[in-house]
């Protein structure tokens, strides 16, 4: 039986495995989509990648090594809500930053 997996990358720092090790263990054929967010090493904060403590250099290297081409789903609702609560006019620029982060993330794993 072949089971496709959609791992959550960006778990709190006390997780038992590094995200890059999980990526390599699952490999190209099993990874179909990724649920991506960062954290602050204390809790599951749903921060944008590269804004917390996850070692994204290693994760991106692992994704590149397995030839990952699947979907990237960024879960950054916590930061977006906080930004909007501070000033609603900052939400769209913040979403633009998240989009640009996704573009850079994809480029890093494919080039």
Contact (Cβ atoms closer than 8 angstroms) between residue 38 and residue 77: no
pLDDT per position in the chain (111 positions), as tens? 344 455 555 554 445 457 888 888 888 888 888 888 888 777 777 888 888 888 889 889 999 999 998 888 888 888 888 888 889 999 999 899 999 999 999 999 998
For residues 76 and 99, is the Cβ–Cβ distance under 8 A?
no
Residue 12 is predicted with a pLDDT of 46
Q: How many helices (H) and strands (E) does the chain have?
A: 4, 3
Query: What CA–CA distance (Å, rounded) separates 1 from 29?
Result: 13
> Is this model's pTM higher than 0.85 or not?
no
Return all residues near 35 (Cβ < 8 A) that are at least 6 apart.
6, 7, 8, 9, 73, 75
């Amino acid at each position: 039986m072949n089971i496709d997996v959609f791992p959550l990358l960006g778990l709190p720092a006390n997780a038992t495995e590094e995200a890059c090790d999980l990526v390599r263990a699952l490999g190209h054929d099993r990874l179909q989509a990724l649920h991506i967010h960062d954290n602050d090493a204390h809790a599951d904060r749903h921060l944008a990648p590269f804004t917390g403590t996850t070692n994204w250099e290693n994760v991106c290297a692992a994704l590149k090594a397995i030839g990952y081409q699947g979907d990237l789903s960024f879960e950054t609702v916590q930061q977006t809500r906080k930004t909007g609560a501070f000033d609603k006019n900052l939400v769209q620029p913040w979403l633009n930053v998240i989009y640009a982060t996704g573009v850079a993330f994809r480029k890093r794993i494919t080039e």
